[in-house]
């Protein structure tokens, strides 16, 4: 048994549950209160919990992210919402240079139990400064846990263990997923450590996360109609990365395509490919492949934006090329 719910509503339910369960939890960010959130995730929470716990902030990511980190050090459990991943760059110093490093710098005396949520990804015609996928950058940093929920189950379930983590957790919500609906089981269980096999297969591993997961699943359906069995791996957690699930899939399928919205150069896709090369090279029957965004700022025009992003036909073509080069 279960129920149908949107990704947006699943996130709101998770926030409400956290606020009800622990008086130390509060939400802060631009427009999270009176406006109900830029993506309507926090709609109604101000009326339910009041302005002390649903706090609208000035338009200063450097300031309010730093304040959230200070609140976490002071014993609170803040959930900081940044409107879009591009704007998180204004808060790189408190996130990377303070939150991620303070446990190390204090010799284990302090931890920073802050959760930072932000929208990521493109596909909405909001132009280059609101459309990037920088979660791979943050996954580079020791001291951070990086989560990328791509299902309603993960949207509903990842916040609770994130708040229980003594160290900073970053949650990246792809903006194209907010309207997505799915079935939420009554007995769902979510961890923030492991990848998930979203579709079993035997010919090729499609390794992806976030907003690219629905595209990879659709590509797998198209490939199945052409006689190719694609296994779809949802990484879900970029740091720490679940190598074991990835390698098990690659060793079974013997071919792999990594699909991400990040740019190709210096990408998280390259990191996944490097790990496969290090750990499962002799299990491969074909070279590794990847489908990434084109090396341009994300365009505003719809047809150009679609052309710049990974799409189902690109994924299918990459797999077919791979199958053609395999033994």
d(CA 249, CA 158): 24
Residue 92 in any domain: the answer is: yes
**Rounded mean pLDDT, 298-304:** 96
Q: What is the CA radius of gyration of the chain?
A: 20
The reply to whether 76 and 50 lie within a common domain is yes
Q: What is the pLDDT of residue 189?
A: 86
- Does 191 reside within a domain? no
Q: Give the residue from 16, 12, 67, 14 showing the smallest Cα distance to 190.
A: 14
Instruction: Name the DSSP letter for residue 28.
Output: E
Residue 294, pLDDT score: 97
Domain interval for residue 222: 196-325
- Percent of the chain scoring above 70 in pLDDT: 99
- Backbone torsions φ then ψ of 71, nearest 5 degrees: -65, -40
Query: Which tens digit of pLDDT belongs to each residue from 204-245?
Result: 999 999 999 999 999 999 999 999 999 999 999 999 999 999
* Domain containing residue 289: CATH number: 3.40.50.920
Catalytic residue IDs: 61, 130
In a domain, 190, yes or no: no
| Residue 301: Cβ within 10 Å count | 11
pLDDT band at 324 (very low <50, low <70, confident <90, very high): confident
Does the bond joining 240 to the residue before it have cis omega, within 30 degrees of 0? yes
User: Strand runs (DSSP E) across 235-311, as ranges?
Assistant: 237-239, 256-263, 289-293
Query: What is the pLDDT, as a whole number, of residue 326?
Result: 44
- CA distance linking residue 183 with residue 156, whole number of Å: 11
Q: Inform me whether the pLDDT recorded for 273 exceeds 50.
A: yes
As a whole number, mean pLDDT of residues 142-161 equals 98
- Our count of domains for the chain comes to 2
| Residue 285 CB burial class (10 angstroms; 0-12, 13-18, ≥19) | middle
Name the β-bridge partners of 305: none
- pLDDT at residue 94, rounded to an integer: 97
Domain boundary (166, 185, 204) is at 185
Which are the contacts of 107, defined by CB distance < 8 A and separation ≥ 6? none
pLDDT band of 1, cuts 50, 70, 90: confident
């Amino acid at each position: 048994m279960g129920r149908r719910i949107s990704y947006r509503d699943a996130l709101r339910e998770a926030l409400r549950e956290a606020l009800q369960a622990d008086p130390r939890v509060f939400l802060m960010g631009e427009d999270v209160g009176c406006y109900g959130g830029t993506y309507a995730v926090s709609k109604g929470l101000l009326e339910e919990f009041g302005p002390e716990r649903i706090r609208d902030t000035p338009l200063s990511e450097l300031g309010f992210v730093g304040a959230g980190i200070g609140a976490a050090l002071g014993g609170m459990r803040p959930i900081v919402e940044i409107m879009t991943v591009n704007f998180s760059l204004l808060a790189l110093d408190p996130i990377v240079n303070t939150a991620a490093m303070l446990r190390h710098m204090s010799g284990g005396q302090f931890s920073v139990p802050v959760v930072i949520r932000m929208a990521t990804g493109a596909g909405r015609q909001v132009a280059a400064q609101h459309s990037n996928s920088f979660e791979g950058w943050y996954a580079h940093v020791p001291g951070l846990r990086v989560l990328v929920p791509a299902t309603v189950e993960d949207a509903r379930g990842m916040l609770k263990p994130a708040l229980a983590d003594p160290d900073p957790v970053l949650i990246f919500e792809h903006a194209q997923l907010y309207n997505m609906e799915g079935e939420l089981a009554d007995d769902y269980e979510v961890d923030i450590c492991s990848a998930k096999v979203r579709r079993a297969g035997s010919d090729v591993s499609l390794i992806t996360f976030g907003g690219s997961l629905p595209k990879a699943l659709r590509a797998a359906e198209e490939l199945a109609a052409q006689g190719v069995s694609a296994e779809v791996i949802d990484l879900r957690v970029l740091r720490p990365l679940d190598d074991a699930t990835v390698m098990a899939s690659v060793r079974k399928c013997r071919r792999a395509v990594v699909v991400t919205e990040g740019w190709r150069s210096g990408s998280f896709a390259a990191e996944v490919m490097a790990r496969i090369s290090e750990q499962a090279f002799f299990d491969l029957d074909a070279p590794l492949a990847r489908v990434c965004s084109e090396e341009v700022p994300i365009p505003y025009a719809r047809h150009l934006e679609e052309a710049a992003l990974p799409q189902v036909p690109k994924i299918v073509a990459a797999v077919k090329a791979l199958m053609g080069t395999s033994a």
